[in-house]
Amino acid sequence: MKKFEWRPTANAPKYYPAEIISGNFYMEDGSSIYIPKGHTLMTGWGKAGAAHAVGEDMKPVPYKFDVKWVSYLEEKFYGGTFKLPKEQLTKLFEEGFINDRNEKDTYSKIVLGLAPGGIISVWLRGGSAKEIGRYQASEIEVDEKEFIPYANMSNEKYIKETKSEIIEEKIKSAIDVKNIPFGIWDTYRKKYKWAINVNFKAEGKNKLKTIIANSYNGEFFNTSGENPIITKMIERAIPSRIAMSWQDTNGNGYGAKVFFDEEEIFKTFDIIFQQKTINQATLILDIDKYNSNLEVFILANDEKYSITKAEIKVYEASN
């Protein structure tokens, strides 16, 4: 049985706190490993949470998992047992990815994402992240002795009191806590065929060193500028952020970060791909000849779709 070095962890979307009551990954050799519990999860969709160093470093891939959790904004419990794509997991661990040093690397965590409405996503995560499945949990009842064994109160009272402590003004100012956007995490999973092209206008030949591309569905890659996956036309989720570094012909280093406006980037992709004549597009990152400014647009069927609301930062960087 093939084994890999990985640890379990969990997360919930930013501003939508959850807490695991119990959870385990199960392997076909009869072993299991628990998913860390007792933490308020709100690190962000796809990101890693607490990871405990338990059991052997090298473990088989799991074939199923179970989980129970509380969604604090909803004041509800969810849970279930779910089958994992063991063969796909094994293949992804074996294939790994090319990291930002242009070396082969592989994943180190299996991440469980818990969203309102009982949505579960599972990712492999390391220097890159790949979603491997989406699951639907059921609303369940949980006994006080299992959820809060040392508290002398009901589940309902404990959840309400904990919720009031967690939901601070920072969260209230960021979201409408009474109107949860159910379904948005499924919207994030939609993929289109697109590639990235970094275009340098400077004389000579600038060299792209590294690039990180994060997507709204929690996937990302952090790779060398030499990796052909950057310009390959493949199915990808819509990008939320791109960061990169490069050198000019004199060896001077530069960097840039692009933070997309969610409404604009989703609307632009929708406008492009709802056209029957378009089935692929290229996200262009156009860097001026002074390495000081960056224009972002999408090119599809020779038509240019400007991205104007993204927050863009270009800066000099040490090598």
* Rounded Cα distance, 221 and 229, in Å: 10
pLDDT at residue 195, rounded to an integer: 98
pLDDT at residue 50, rounded to an integer: 78
pLDDT at residue 203, rounded to an integer: 78
Encode the chain (319 residues) as per-residue pLDDT tens digits: 899 999 999 999 999 999 999 999 999 999 999 999 988 999 999 998 877 776 788 999 999 999 999 999 999 999 999 999 999 999 999 999 999 999 999 999 999 999 999 999 999 999 999 999 999 999 999 999 999 888 788 999 999 999 999 988 889 889 998 999 999 999 999 999 999 999 999 877 899 999 999 999 999 999 999 999 999 999 999 999 999 999 999 999 999 999 999 999 999 999 999 999 999 999 999 999 999 999 999 999 999 999 999 999 999 997 6
Strand partners, 70: 19, 77
pLDDT at residue 204, rounded to an integer: 77
* Rounded Cα distance, 200 and 189, in Å: 31
Evaluate whether 25 touches 109 at the Cβ level (below 8 Å).
Answer: no
pLDDT at residue 182, rounded to an integer: 95
pLDDT at residue 59, rounded to an integer: 93
141: tokens are: 């009842």
Residues 143-152 have pLDDT tens digits of 999 998 887 8
> Around Cβ 61, how many Cβ atoms within 10 Å?
24
pLDDT at residue 56, rounded to an integer: 80
184 contact partners, CB below 8 Å, separation of at least 6: none
pLDDT at residue 152, rounded to an integer: 82
Evaluate whether 68 touches 21 at the Cβ level (below 8 Å).
Answer: yes
The DSSP call for residue 75 is T
Residues 18-75 have pLDDT tens digits of 999 999 999 999 999 999 998 899 999 999 887 777 678 899 999 999 999 999 999 9
Closest CA to 207 of 243, 242, 241, 253: 253
Taking every pair of Cα atoms in the chain, the longest distance, rounded to a whole number of angstroms, is 72
pLDDT at residue 319, rounded to an integer: 65
